[in-house]
Amino acid sequence: MPKKMNITQKDLDRVKKRCLESLGDFLSELCRDKLMGPTSVEKIFSFDHTTFKRICEKDQTITVKTMARTMGIIASFLNGLKETCDKELKNLQEDDKMKLSLKRKKIDVLNKKRVKCTEAMEKYKKTFGIIAISFLELIGQNDEF
């Protein structure tokens, strides 16, 4: 006879709490690394500063829907940042008018930012698993996501 699984609201709340802790820690880390901040997120995604801060503080009143939206925003933001770095690197490498020393300095800064972004994307996938991978795939398939 199959075993019946009894998942209580308390169990679901515990899962939500763990997910929110991971999300809050990850979002705070992106802010510390200066890859993402509440102002840029609000400007691009109309995502309120207060909500951003509440997630970083792991406020338990955050809904699962808001958590999912935040994961999608992170994926979109990191993907866009990586694409911007790639485009700027390509433009710099093709620029023949810029002083070589300045060009090298700018390329070095962009390469470091791109590496940070790539590392953050990998950590995002590792931390949030199939949810993160699904968001990144959606972004890759749909410019209007």
Buried b (16+ CB within 10 A) or exposed e, 35-63: bbebeebeeeeebeeebbebbbebeeebe
Q: Report pTM.
A: 0.87
Residue 2 lies in a domain: no
Residue 30 lies in a domain: yes
- Domain region containing 84: 10-141
Tens digits of residue pLDDT in 14-63: 999 999 999 999 999 999 999 999 999 999 999 999 999 999 999 999 99
Residue 23 lies in a domain: yes
Per the structure, how many domains does the chain have?
A: 1
Residue 129 lies in a domain: yes
Residue 3 lies in a domain: no
